[in-house]
Amino acid sequence: MRGALSQAILAHRLGISQTDISRYESGSRIPPITLLTAIAMEFHVSLDWLVLGERDQSSETVVSEPSLQSNEDRQLMILIRQLDRKDRTLIKELAMRLAELASHRIS
């Protein structure tokens, strides 16, 4: 899947350690669904293809995932996906408050 990318570069792009990449590739660890989702987004493949080796019949890209334009956006989504529901709720509330403050500054 990673092609010519080194483990170090892939790890950096996904926001994980090179050791984790090595463990996943050797089969000594199973990647969490949050990481599989991030990999699917990074390489523009469906989760079906990534996990089962099958392309999505309707599209070769991940369906229902927003297109994240920057590496910073992708890294933020990876971090958020690693949080439990309670922490995600806190992050969402904080983001909503910050967005509200920002909109008041603009107007």
- Which whole-number Å values give the CA distances from 51 to 9, 54, 89, 104, in the listed order? 21, 8, 29, 45
In a domain, 52, yes or no: yes
For the chain (length 107 residues), average pLDDT per consecutive 10?
82 90 90 87 81 58 50 77 84 86 75
Is 82 part of a structural domain of the chain?
yes
Distance, in Å, from the CA atom of 73 to the CA atom of 59, rounded to the nearest integer, reads 23
The range of the structural domain enclosing residue 18 comes to 7-106
pLDDT of residue 63: 42
2, part of any domain = no
pLDDT of residue 80: 80
Question: Would residue 12 count as lying in a domain?
Answer: yes
Q: How far apart are CA 76 and CA 42, in angstroms?
A: 13
Q: Structurally, how many domains does the chain consist of?
A: 1
Q: Tokens standing for 40?
A: 């699917």
The encoded tokens of residue 32 equal 């969490």
